[in-house]
Amino acid sequence: MSLEHDKVWSNCLKLIKDNVNPQSFKTWFEPIKSIKVEDKVLTIQVPSQFFYEWLEEHYVTLLKKALEKELGPGSKLEYNIIVDNSANSNTRAYTINVPTRNTPYNNKNEVGAPLNVNANIHNPFIIPGLKKLNIDSQLNRNYTFDNFIEGDCNRLPRSAGFAVANKPGGTAFNPLMIFGGVGLGKTHLVHAIGNRIKEVSPNKSVLYVSSEKFVNQYVDSCKNGNNNDFLNFYQLLDVLIVDDVQFFAKKEKTQEIFFQIFNHLHQNNKQIIITSDRAPRDLKDLDERLLSRFKWGLSADLQTPDLETRINILEYKMYQDGIQLNSEIIEYLAHNIDSNIRELEGALISLLAQASLNRKDIDLELAKKMIKNFVKNASREISIEYIQKLVSDYYSLTVDQLKSKTRKREIVQARQISMYFAKQLTKAPLKKIGMHFGGRDHSTVIHACQTVNDLIDTDKKFRGDVEEISKRIKINTY
Ligand code: ADP
Ligand code: MG
């Protein structure tokens, strides 16, 4: 007999799949395993505490609907959570009984999560009468959540950051580690978290510090013989934000003191937020003990922004500065500068500067000229999104249509041509190309390329189209 719970869950998944976007489905539902079903209670296993919280926060209604459809009214969901307790690194599962009611889930201790169970540890360093730290947080007020544009590239770290900001030390995301390449918004996001904490809980002592500054302070304190004060100060914080911890690499003494501070804060349910330009596993030359602690909470990465987010960011920045540019120029910028957000801002600023210096209106010509200088050194790569945009424009379709499931002939053909160019002109592997087209698999891409090659050989009109599109892609790129 095929397992009852598998059947129930796979039916639930069908309904869920129709109601969430493919990316979310892949991220949040594919990793779930069903465990058992008993008396209208389905037990599923999720990979982490965070997962569970996310599901409860974002999908509780949908889960309830799906479950009731399968098991009838009054059915319940139970979660098995795999807890990575790095200290003894065994994973163990424990069960939380969660009725799929639409109650906001907000108290972990109630359900017995084995996190932050530590009560008040007496701090021998606290000097009586000096319990409240009155410090300058070193936060940049200009970096807020309001002006941190949300997109697929940053949804996870942004919402985890927001959760932390509203309840520092009181979520499973401790430490919260945000990583990603340069210019993708790490510093902005952690300041936003800090600012939000000061807004919600003005009495909390929050400190933002770059790793470099931390190292220098520590070295100075050793020179001056007051490194105890240094330690003492940091241990009194409620929220410690350390930016760019990759800078600690090879600095063993600093790592050691940071390790002590980390442990102290963590034990006392104080929030720690760190950023790094790479994933924890790639942080070479960092003490294993420190690394394993970084993994206790949540590591979330900021990815390179997709086209839509880039356009949104540009539009937002223009709106803030009270400038208007026509959409053709914005799209041009967004298409051509796709590596990071700092560059995107830089391009916009230099475009404005050029225009005002030369007293010229900003038109596409100027934008093209400027971009050429701006990205001269960067090797230009054509992106899949860019190809999709040009091909869909050519056939008067939308990019969404290209990605859709539809089997209409002219859309299928445009989709295949886009895949063909993506294969020819980008370095993306087949799998990634497929992902860009609504999550199709690599064999679909191979098939598309074969079909296009065949048609080029046999269909004159088709060949003309392909040549024209190829020309457009190249003109607009170089
Ligand atoms: P990192 O610390 O990762 O190198 P920054 O936080 O310094 O990157 O971000 C670079 C620039 O891009 C900053 O000016 C920041 O305000 C901007 N930026 C990054 N992400 C976003 C976003 N999602 N929305 C708006 N601006 C952003
Ligand atoms: Mg930074």
Ligand nearest to the CA of 186: 1
Residue nearest to atom 20 of ligand 1 (CA): 185
Whether 126 has a pLDDT exceeding 90, the answer reads no
* Model pTM above 0.85: no
The candidate with the shortest Cα–Cα distance to 175, out of 183, 184, 164, is 164
At 162-182, the pLDDT tens digits run 999 999 999 999 999 999 999
The candidate with the shortest Cα–Cα distance to 428, out of 23, 100, 201, 418, is 418
Cα–Cα distance measured from residue 53 to residue 33, given in angstroms and rounded to the nearest whole number: 16
Q: Which of 118-127, 207-216, 237-246 has the lowest mean pLDDT?
A: 118-127
Q: How many residues does the chain have?
A: 478
At 323-378, the pLDDT tens digits run 788 888 998 899 888 888 988 888 888 888 777 777 777 888 888 887 776 665 44
Point out which residues pair with 127 in neighbouring strands: none
Can you tell me the mean pLDDT for 137-151?
A: 95
Cα–Cα distance measured from residue 451 to residue 416, given in angstroms and rounded to the nearest whole number: 8
State residue 134's pLDDT score: 65
State residue 476's pLDDT score: 58
Whether 95 has a pLDDT exceeding 50, the answer reads no
| Six token digits for residue 393 | 């424009």
Cα–Cα distance measured from residue 269 to residue 119, given in angstroms and rounded to the nearest whole number: 9
Whether 90 has a pLDDT exceeding 50, the answer reads no
For ligand 2, the distance from its centroid to the CA atom of residue 190, given in whole angstroms, is 9
Mean pLDDT of the chain: 83
For ligand 1, the distance from its centroid to the CA atom of residue 310, given in whole angstroms, is 11
Cα–Cα distance measured from residue 128 to residue 15, given in angstroms and rounded to the nearest whole number: 59
For ligand 1, the distance from its centroid to the CA atom of residue 300, given in whole angstroms, is 16
Whether 88 has a pLDDT exceeding 60, the answer reads no
Ligand nearest to the CA of 190: 1
Q: Which atom of ligand 1 is nearest to the CA of 184?
A: 3
State residue 336's pLDDT score: 87
State residue 379's pLDDT score: 45
Rounded to 5°, angle at Cα 476 from 474 and 478: 65
Identify the sign of the CA torsion 387, 392, 393, 399.
negative
Sort strands 298-301 and 176-179 into parallel, antiparallel or unpaired. Answer: parallel
Task: State the pLDDT confidence band at 96, using cuts at 50, 70 and 90.
Answer: very low
| Domains of the chain (ranges, CATH numbers) | 4-93 (3.30.300.180), 155-302 (3.40.50.300), 307-374 (1.10.8.60), 384-475 (1.10.1750.10)
Q: Which strands sit side by side in the sheet containing 298-301, from one edge to the other?
A: 206-210, 239-243, 271-276, 176-179, 298-301
DSSP 3-state of 254: helix
Point out which residues pair with 242 in neighbouring strands: 209, 274
